[in-house]
Amino acid sequence: MTQQLNIIIVPHTHWDREWYQTFQQFRLRLVHAIDKLLDILDRDPKFSNFMLDGQTIVLDDYLEVRPEQEERLKKHTRSGRIQVGPWYLQPDEFLVSGESLVRNLQIGLQRAADFAKPMRVGYVPDCFGHIAQLPQILRGFGIDSAVFWRGVGPEAHKSEFYWAAPGGTQVLVIHLADALGYSNARDLPLNLEEFVTRVELLSAPLLSKATTNTLLFMNGSDHLEPEDGLPETIDAANKLLAHIDPELEKVLTRFGRLEQNGQVSDFDQILVRIGTLPQYIEAVRQHLERSPGTPLQTLHGEMRSSEYAHLLPAVLSTRMWIKQKNTATEHLLERWVEPLTAWAWKTGAPYPKGLVRQAWKFLLQNHPHDSICGCSIDQVHRENSVRFAQSQQISEGVVAQAMQSLVSVIDTRAPTNVHKPLAGQEPFPIVIFNPAPGPRTEAVQAMTQLPGSLKNAVVVDERGSRMPFHVVSRWRQELGSMPVPREMLATAVALQGMKAPGEFINLAQSTLVSMLGLSESDYVITRINVEEGAQAGVASVELMITRREQVTINQQELQASESRVLALMQREDINTLEFIIIDQARQTVDFIAAGLPAYGLKTYWIYPGGLQGEGQSQPSTDSSTGQEQRAVSQPPSIENEFYTVAANQEDGTLTVTDKQTGAVFTGLNRFVDGGDVGDLYTYCPPAHDTLISKPVEPPKIELVSTGPIRSIMRISGDWSLPTACSDTRTERSAHMTTCSIVSEISLTPGVHRVDIHTGVENDVKDHRLRVTFPVPYTVEHAEAEGTFEVRSRPIVAPRPADVSAWAEEPVNTFPQKRFVDVSNGTVGLGVLNRGLPEYEIVQDAPGQMAVAVTLLRCVEWLSRADLSTRRGHAGPMEFTPEAQCLGHQEFDYALVPHRADWEAEEALVLREAQAFNTPVRALATEQHEGQLPSRATLVEVEPRSLVVSAIKRSETGQGMIVRVHNPLSQAVEANLRPGFACTKAFVTNLHEEQQEQLFWSGVEDGSLSVGLRSGEIATILFQ
């Protein structure tokens, strides 16, 4: 059977917004490229299509400096000649959160709609591998196909296949199977004969993988401009290709046949045309419909093969600070900004829509694969740092406003039925916000300005339960000082004839308070302290001022002090009176906030002088009691009701005992430092590596605090590390440099985690520093949180004996979100992190394995061609010294030993991982009435093991969105109970478009039930 081979050429450009040049430098080229595109489209009607890389930000970047071109550009987008969207920008998939990917598509599709009907193809041409949930995310936006290059391995037999996400939804994938991926038909020759030859050469490798008689030629590459004159060449070539001459046929019969169900098709003509990705996908679908006997494969899971194309997996640990800042900013937006602004809006505050959107945009602009991956020149990443800062500045401001607004509508009056304060002393409410699942217990630190010594102070919640409480520090702030000559002051006092008690105080009060720029009516002098002798001829008069409503003044004492000051004025031996104004004491206090509701808030009250009818109160302690001094002589260990943590005095590693299971984990928190002669993309140990896993001498171990709030142990070690790699890059240098590594390990009563904060003085180069956690058993799989899922991966990546032909060595380092867990079924160890996305499960001693989490990977070349672990360059060979990450670096991670596996105890590990990434926040306030109860939740979700990834105002402003996904291996019935007024609920897609109304009539009706398959994401709109 003979037939026609169709070729669709998609002219496009791949626009890395910033990479080996900065955004502004690349934009100069972008302006030139789009100017040229518009000229071509105006002039050549046969140049029918051009794809702007599936991302709308290039439109914004262009129009920002070419606003006068908007209508001309829109003429071509509206006519369908320029394809725009669906993304806002081309992200890395593994290093950003699921919600970031959702916002990326929301913003992209919305912006694309200003220009045209958006291109609904999941085009991610250059991403460094693909997450398993991409099909479900795309389908959530009505996108049923994906086109990409990297990550696909030999499991895909053809370049077309279905790809199913956890939860079951699937998309049709077009794999750009040519070695050049999205650039396979770049720079097509405009010379007719060369063009024809190129078409045949390019067809051959594609045909071997093709399912249909239509091939995809991607005519473009990184930052390439459109090829003027291409349609003319295509027209001429089609005449030649309409009848393949015998010479050419030889080439085509060698490669050019399509085998289907044992049937072989030979092509006797080729038709080339310019088209679009949607047209290509439509051609594939039509072919599949016409030939139902050729079912496509359905593949599952993530795509991380490095066989055919570079995967570049070590970007997970390049410039770790970017990953840390990104994770922090994502949590700030997703867990604080969106829920709190939405909640405040629900209680009557205006919604800061533009600010929230702008904070997201600054964050997303750091998500292109070359930005978040850390594989650009240094200047690019300095600019990333500024964008993180801008996103955080907006977010912190908006969160502070929302917290203030919410606190103002909470009924913060102390529960009078349980406790009564001492006469004249009012309790001070503090509201704690919890953005994670609950009920939750955490240590809280708050700044207060409370009267009295706080020796008898107590903290209670709404049921009167006492919370352990501790004053960390007390201090007074000097607000200002003024030296006044004694004689001058004495004359002034004499002239004014001050005799009555309090007259001088009143004068001083009005003079000094207004001198400080404070309102006279608000502040009063509450105490005067006179000191002499520090300096000859000078007396110091310390005046404490306090807000008027907060105090009862001891007038007798104050007037006695006044007399002492007046007496000073008669003293010939004194030249100067130094007036020093101080404010009331401030305190940093710690207390345990127990029973915090999920995604909610709870009020606690501090009674500064204690409670009526009680003498000394027991839980309150002051740091000056000397308790720590006694503790120092104890053995180096700390504990709470869940765990005991002891330090090994030889090497500083930790032994953690899980009191519930009896499991003992030893050798934890061991640092292992090895060489790295790779580049920003790929890890490469030197041929002769040296691993260092011990400090030079036994570390210093201190008990910093033994409670009652936090028990903290500090381990400080000096590490002698090779200064850099050798000149030949085959080993680490013999010259050593000392670097300090300090870990603070803390336990809190009621908190089911061992929290670890580590500071590293990184004064050496060309190395990789990991922290390891051995487990006393072996496993074949480990589970790590991924995007909208928890992914189980084998410890060792599948690897044939010979990988010499692979584009890159397969690696056993894998991506993680907030935790990785290794369990033997009876007990397990969860290792949580804040923004440390790379882990590996390594063989340790016999019978045990260890979780290794990368802290730093320090290299200084954007790309090198001499890596034993990768073939060829991955980018230009630019020098990037800042990727050595020299200087002080800090890391946060935590341990959760537990029974059974990660799903046990209502997914304790996953819940703690969320809590660990969102420390609670406190806001002190006054007592007042309000519409919200003192303990309130925005939404309650059962079972607690489900993950609520978004609580936000809907984009249209007509309701509240709650997004929940099921990471468990079983289907569950989710029960949602919103804490705000609503009467209707809808299932929506990820674009927040209503799909189906649920039978539910509002909060009064009880909780809303939604069935969730394993891996399913559900978005609910409450109205």
Q: Which residues bind Zn ion (CB under 5 A)?
A: 16, 126
Report the alpha-carbon angle 183-189-194, nearest 5: 120
Q: How many C-alpha atoms does 513 have within 13 Å on its Cβ side?
A: 20
Least distance to Zn ion, CB of residue 126, Å: 3
Nearest partner of 858 among 288, 213, 320, judged by Cα: 320
Tell me the C-alpha distance between 332 and 338, whole Å. 9
Report the alpha-carbon angle 561-451-542, nearest 5: 30
Sheet with 827-833, side-by-side order of all strands? 700-706, 711-722, 736-747, 754-762, 887-899, 827-833, 819-823, 781-786, 789-794
Q: Which is nearer to Zn ion, 16 or 821 (CB)?
A: 16
Least distance to Zn ion, CB of residue 1001, Å: 50
DSSP secondary structure of 689-756: ---B-S-SSPPEEEEEEE-SS-EEEEEEEEEEEESSB-TTSSBB-S-EEEEEEEEEEEE-TT---EEE
Least distance to Zn ion, CB of residue 220, Å: 12
Q: Which is nearer to Zn ion, 19 or 579 (CB)?
A: 19
Q: Which is nearer to Zn ion, 16 or 892 (CB)?
A: 16
Least distance to Zn ion, CB of residue 861, Å: 18
Classify strands 700-706 and 849-858 as parallel, antiparallel or unpaired. unpaired
Q: Which is nearer to Zn ion, 16 or 755 (CB)?
A: 16
- SS3 label, residue 669: coil
Cβ-defined contacts of 75-80 (< 8 Å, 24+): 76/38, 76/41, 77/115, 77/116, 78/115, 78/116, 80/49, 80/116, 80/117
Least distance to Zn ion, CB of residue 370, Å: 6
Nearest partner of 444 among 967, 1021, 922, judged by Cα: 922
Q: Which is nearer to Zn ion, 16 or 160 (CB)?
A: 16
Least distance to Zn ion, CB of residue 174, Å: 18
Nearest partner of 124 among 172, 62, 26, 55, judged by Cα: 55
Residue number of the CB atom closest to Zn ion: 126
Helix axis angle, 555-568 to 503-515, nearest 10°: 90
Q: Which is nearer to Zn ion, 126 or 940 (CB)?
A: 126
Q: Which is nearer to Zn ion, 16 or 673 (CB)?
A: 16
Q: Which is nearer to Zn ion, 126 or 227 (CB)?
A: 126
Q: Are 713 and 756 in contact (CB under 8 A)?
A: no
Tell me the C-alpha distance between 8 and 656, whole Å. 61
C-alpha 686, offset from chain centre: 32
Least distance to Zn ion, CB of residue 787, Å: 20
Give the helix/strand (H/E) hosting 238. helix 230-241
Q: Which is nearer to Zn ion, 55 or 212 (CB)?
A: 55
Residue 531: phi and psi, rounded to 5, are: -135, 145
Tell me the C-alpha distance between 279 and 548, whole Å. 75
Least distance to Zn ion, CB of residue 145, Å: 20
Report the phi/psi class of residue 988: left, alpha or beta, with left for phi > 0 and alpha for psi in -120 to 50.
Answer: beta
Q: Which is nearer to Zn ion, 126 or 892 (CB)?
A: 126
Q: Which is nearer to Zn ion, 126 or 461 (CB)?
A: 126
Residue 264 neighbours by CB under 8 Å, 6+ apart: 1, 257, 258
Cβ-defined contacts of 868-873 (< 8 Å, 24+): 868/684, 868/687, 868/809, 869/678, 869/682, 869/683, 869/684, 869/808, 869/809, 869/811, 870/310, 870/678, 870/681, 870/682, 870/684, 870/807, 870/808, 870/809, 871/806, 871/807, 871/808, 872/310, 872/807
Least distance to Zn ion, CB of residue 303, Å: 16
DSSP secondary structure of 606-643: EETT-BTT--S-SS-EEGGGSHHHHHHTS-SEEE-SSE
Least distance to Zn ion, CB of residue 150, Å: 10
Q: Which is nearer to Zn ion, 126 or 755 (CB)?
A: 126
Q: Which is nearer to Zn ion, 27 or 791 (CB)?
A: 27
Q: Which is nearer to Zn ion, 21 or 648 (CB)?
A: 21
Strand partners, 792: 783
Q: Which is nearer to Zn ion, 82 or 127 (CB)?
A: 127
Nearest partner of 239 among 189, 280, 195, judged by Cα: 195
Least distance to Zn ion, CB of residue 245, Å: 39
Q: Are 680 and 880 in contact (CB under 8 A)?
A: yes
Least distance to Zn ion, CB of residue 15, Å: 8
Q: Which is nearer to Zn ion, 126 or 160 (CB)?
A: 126
Least distance to Zn ion, CB of residue 53, Å: 9
Residue 45 neighbours by CB under 8 Å, 6+ apart: none
Least distance to Zn ion, CB of residue 91, Å: 11
Per-residue HEC secondary structure of 747-816 comes to: ECCCCCCEEEEEEEEECCCCEEEEEEEEECCCCCEEEEEECCEEEEEECCCCCCCCCCCCCECCCCCEEC
Least distance to Zn ion, CB of residue 937, Å: 43
Least distance to Zn ion, CB of residue 883, Å: 18
Quote the DSSP letter at residue 315: G
Give the helix/strand (H/E) hosting 666. strand 664-668
Q: Which is nearer to Zn ion, 54 or 610 (CB)?
A: 54
Q: Which is nearer to Zn ion, 17 or 791 (CB)?
A: 17
Least distance to Zn ion, CB of residue 16, Å: 4
Least distance to Zn ion, CB of residue 20, Å: 11
| Count of Cβ atoms closer than 10 Å to residue 656 Cβ | 23
